[in-house]
Amino acid sequence: MFTMSCSVRDSLATTVMAMQSQGQTAGQLGLQYASPLGMLKLEGASQGLVNVTLEGFQPLPFMSLNTTLGFVGELSR
């Protein structure tokens, strides 16, 4: 298993993860950006899965929203 994290600047960070087990490999890449609206996260996996998340969005001072969108690639035939 291999994991690496890097903070490019205060508001932008990346993470990379890779592993191999019994002849199978998997990988994941993540980006995090601290925007004025909240923490925007993008995660992609080697299986074709992409997650886009906005955490801590506060349209009003008393309200906090967390949303996640997931996209799955076409399954092989």
**In terms of Cα–Cα distance, which of 49, 50, 43, 39 is closest to 16?**
43
From the CB of residue 38, how many other CB atoms can be counted at a distance below 10 Å?
Answer: 19
Can you tell me the distance from the alpha carbon of 58 to that of 54, in angstroms, rounded to the nearest whole number?
A: 10
The 10s digit of each residue's pLDDT in 10-56 is 899 999 999 998 888 889 999 999 988 888 888 888 877 888 888 87
The 10s digit of each residue's pLDDT in 44-69 is 888 778 888 888 777 776 777 767 77
Token representation of residue 9: 């600047």
Does 58 or 8 have the greater pLDDT score?
A: 8
Can you tell me the distance from the alpha carbon of 24 to that of 21, in angstroms, rounded to the nearest whole number?
A: 5
